[in-house]
Structure 1
Amino acid sequence: MSPEPVRRRSHSARQLSIVVPLFNEQATLAELHRRLDAVLLLLGLPSEIVYVDDGSTDGTAAALAELAARDSRVRVIPLTRNYGQTAALAAGFDAAAGAVIVAMDGDLQHAPEEIPKLLNKLAEGYDIVSGWREQRQDNLWTRRIPSRIANWLMARLSGVALHDFGTTFKAYRAPIIKRIALYGDMHRFIPALASWRGARIAEVPIANIVRPQNRSHYGLSRTWRVMADLITVRFLLRYVTRPLHFFGPAGFACLALGMAGGSWVLATKVITGDPVFVEHGPLLLLSVLLIQSGVFLVGLGLLAELLTRIYVDGRHRRIYTVAQPIDLSADIWGRSEPLRPDDAILRQ
């Protein structure tokens, strides 16, 4: 597959970071790096490749150390254990110095030759460009049908019209992705979280390549966690800055029903003189429970409003621990010549 030519602009300096999370990818790493090298040579942009070793137990770490020793563009972020794909991507995004960041898997399921396609679409004025595996080659019943259902649900609940939320192969403008705090399996919902911040999002068809090693380290075992994260995203998109709007209606409804029931019992007692606990015990008990529930829900909403402030202030806390980064040319995050913030790749 030959790379698509990138459309040039007049800016003399451009920056690009390729972020690749790896977990036991020794078998594919050499070919991946060779193909990335060819694409970056074609692009001719000041670039870096950020490999995040997500606690690999094979020879991935040694292979990365060898790459870093012979290629000054390579930066290696070794995590102390296997944190999962979301944390590995977050580590790469935090370390990336480019004005544009391209994320991709390290198992050769994503073709490096399609990176220019993402960049060209990004140059049209978008903040995020997502790959779309339009012609999937996976198993119909275990992968494709569940994926279509999941993507339909994600699009409906998030309000972002994408066909493929699951692929890691995306291009981001750095100011957008660096403002998004990731945890759980939230990397799938980056477009939804970015859209909430006003990001412009597009997608382009990409080839769906069957994994050469015929396995996925981040697969179906996390389906239920992904669905739980989907509910979380729905809540975050609608109520993250106004939790009382979520708890308040239910709380006030409980209060209103409880007070109405209690008032009716009290009025009946005054008018008829009937023994309240004998004649209307269940209704009285229900009214008390409803009032208590209403007070609890409203109080919970107010507490959540206070916690929102803590969330906003502390959202940049990292969700991973980095071991000693491998960089033979510069400081801890590794560039012999720091990238200038005004050298925006494909800047509008």
Structure 2
Amino acid sequence: MNDYSDKPFDIEISVVCPVNNEEQTIGELCTRIDATLRNDGCSYEIIIVDDASDDSTPTILDELLGQIACLKVLRLTRINGQGIAIYAGVQNSVGKYVVIMDGDLQNLPEEIPLLVNKAREGFDIVSGLRQHRTESLLLKRVPSAIANWLLRTTTGCPAKDMGGFKCLNGDIARKIHMRSGHHRLLPAIVWGLGGSLAEIPVSFPPRKTGKSHYGISRSFDVACDIMQLWFKNSFKSRPLYLFGRIAFALFFLGAVIIAYLLFERFVMGINMGTRPPFLFSILFLLASMGFMATGFILEQLSETFCVVTQQKPYRVQQCKTGKSAQPPRDEAHSAGCAESEQCPRH
């Protein structure tokens, strides 16, 4: 993907962890992360995003601030959900690599170096492939398998597990505008941007305390998020292609029905004005005009969005120039184009 700078980083690893009412695990979590990264010998920061906890989690975090020098705590004013909490933490990170993990100790802090070492090989995102899951088969593992299959099918992303333990290139992570629920789709989002992906096996022990906030009802939310991502990846720049195809299909169907009814009217003498097929044909024709109008409106909105945000319809993977050649006029790459390294898509 290589759409990031080669500037030096004062901090190599930023660990972002959203928590909500994790008073029984937050102390152990922060201590184990600190010990793991300190033993690894790298520079790091630990960012805990408190999603408006109403137990003793804030008090424990205040105590930990005096014990762990690299700890940063963000307290949100209200419960925003895990995705927004992760987005807040990522936007406040400064590390070359950003590790995202859950706060219930089902993601082991001791395995953070495994993900980071893989990311150092040049991958834009490294996702943990959960092993030996002990959750409910019907309520957790089957819906998760279906969601992962649906995401692979609709986006082309080869990731087998979209779980919560990930390591991203910091510059790329901070450029992603994450909405609620998008944290589950990060591998597919990065893949859709042209990024490189790797998966490594990670442990996934049972929860020590409390209960999961995810139930079977979340499966429907995930399905909606997947469809939204599919639409964004496929038709964001040209929404008229989708709505235009639907409009032409409806128009063709309505026209065929009208032609058949006219044939019956003038050849066989059958009245068509009060027959249900005639009403359906009118409905199809009106719907086709509605879809076409929607496509035109979304087309204009998409163009306006790109102009206002100055987004480009391309990303440069690699740039090479001769000694006397001028670098491309792309502010994202002109500063260090000749020195950019290739990040192959695996």
| Residue 31 (structure 1) aligns with | 28
CA contact (8 A) 2:47 2:74 kept: yes
- Are 1:225 and 2:221 an aligned pair? yes
* Residue 101 (structure 1) aligned to one of 92, 98, 101: 98
| Residue 173 (structure 1) aligns with | 169
Structure-2 separation of matches of 1:139 and 1:168: 18
CA contact (8 A) 2:83 2:182 kept: yes
Unpaired segments of 5 or more residues in structure 2? 1-7, 311-335, 337-341
Q: CA deviation at 1:260?
A: 4.9
Q: What is the letter of the counterpart of residue 170 of structure 2?
A: A
CA contact (8 A) 2:11 2:94 kept: no
Secondary structure of 2:128's partner? strand
**Alignment of structure 1 residues 1-348 onto 2, 5 Å:** 15-165=12-162, 167-262=163-258, 278-282=271-275, 283-309=277-303, 311-312=305-306
CA contact (8 A) 1:265 1:280 kept: no
Q: What is the letter of the counterpart of residue 95 of structure 2?
A: G
Structure-2 separation of matches of 1:257 and 1:307: 29
Tell me: CA distance 1:154–1:279, structure 2 relative to 1, closer, same or farther (3 Å): closer
CA contact (8 A) 1:184 1:229 kept: no
Deviations 1:37-68 (A, max 9, x none): 11121222221111100110001112222222
TM-score between both structures, scaled by the size of structure 1: 0.79
Q: CA deviation at 1:19?
A: 0.3
Secondary structure of 2:160's partner? coil
Of 302-311 and 179-188, deviating more is 302-311
Q: What is the letter of the counterpart of residue 233 of structure 1?
A: L
Q: CA deviation at 1:120?
A: 1.1
Of 237-246 and 141-150, deviating more is 141-150
Structure-2 separation of matches of 1:190 and 1:153: 15
Deviations 1:213-234 (A, max 9, x none): 0421344442221122122222
Deviations 1:125-178 (A, max 9, x none): 21000001122122333322332233222222221122211x211000022222
Unpaired segments of 5 or more residues in structure 1? 1-10, 317-341
What is the Cα-based RMSD across aligned positions, in Å?
2.8
Structure-2 separation of matches of 1:191 and 1:57: 32
Of 233-242 and 85-94, deviating more is 233-242
CA contact (8 A) 2:19 2:51 kept: yes
Structure-2 separation of matches of 1:238 and 1:139: 34
Deviations 1:192-251 (A, max 9, x none): 111111010111000111111042134444222112212222222211222111111110
Structure-2 separation of matches of 1:306 and 1:23: 41
Instruction: Answer 1 or 2: higher relative contact order, Cα 8 Å, separation at least 6.
Output: 1
Q: How many pairs were matched up?
A: 305
CA contact (8 A) 1:243 1:301 kept: yes
Tell me: CA distance 1:132–1:80, structure 2 relative to 1, closer, same or farther (3 Å): same
Structure-1 separation of matches of 2:13 and 2:62: 21
Q: What is the identity percentage for the equivalent residue pairs of Structure 1 and Structure 2? A: 35
TM-score between both structures, scaled by the size of structure 2: 0.79
Of 189-198 and 174-183, deviating more is 174-183
Q: What is the letter of the counterpart of residue 295 of structure 1?
A: M
Tell me: CA distance 1:142–1:264, structure 2 relative to 1, closer, same or farther (3 Å): closer
CA contact (8 A) 1:135 1:208 kept: yes
CA contact (8 A) 1:13 1:45 kept: no
Structure-1 separation of matches of 2:211 and 2:191: 32
Q: CA deviation at 1:111?
A: 0.8
Q: What is the letter of the counterpart of residue 113 of structure 1?
A: E
Q: What is the letter of the counterpart of residue 46 of structure 1?
A: S
